[in-house]
Amino acid sequence: MNHQDWTNVSLKNPSKQKLEKNIMERKGDTSIQNELNKIENNSEYFSLQKIPVNLSKEIIKYRTSLKLTQKDLSNKLNIQLNKYIELENGKAIYSNETKQLINKLERTLNIKLENKKSIV
């Protein structure tokens, strides 16, 4: 049995081990611990801005006045139905893509959304 190697093998990332060792050595230094806590807390608590509810209600109002279904309008806009439903429900994330979709909606239906100013 002399030909077998029975030593333990560690599969951790060596750079991570060094980082952990450095943190353990500096355990008495509270500034590093405070920095790590700040990073953890900042990355855990965040929220994505959604489109305003009054804008989504206005979109629904125009769609129903034209007697279109959500499916019809999503086909006219050439987008997926679930994207349009998110827009109407106010669950769409505030982004450039959403702004472009709202502009496309205005052009397609020849309307002017009054509450659009709140997302520009």
Domain boundaries of the chain, sorted by first residue:
14-44, 53-118
Give the global pTM.
0.59
pLDDT at 4: 76
* Tens of pLDDT, residues 16-46: 666 666 665 655 556 656 666 666 666 555 5
DSSP, res 42: H
107 pLDDT band (50/70/90 cuts)? very high
**38 residue type, one letter:** K
* Tens of pLDDT, residues 50-90: 888 899 999 999 999 999 999 999 999 999 999 999 999 98
Distance between CA atoms of residues 22 and 89, nearest Å:
49
Architecture of domain 53-118: Orthogonal Bundle (1.10)
Q: Using N-to-C axis directions, what is the helix angle for 96-109 and 81-89, rounded to 10°? A: 100
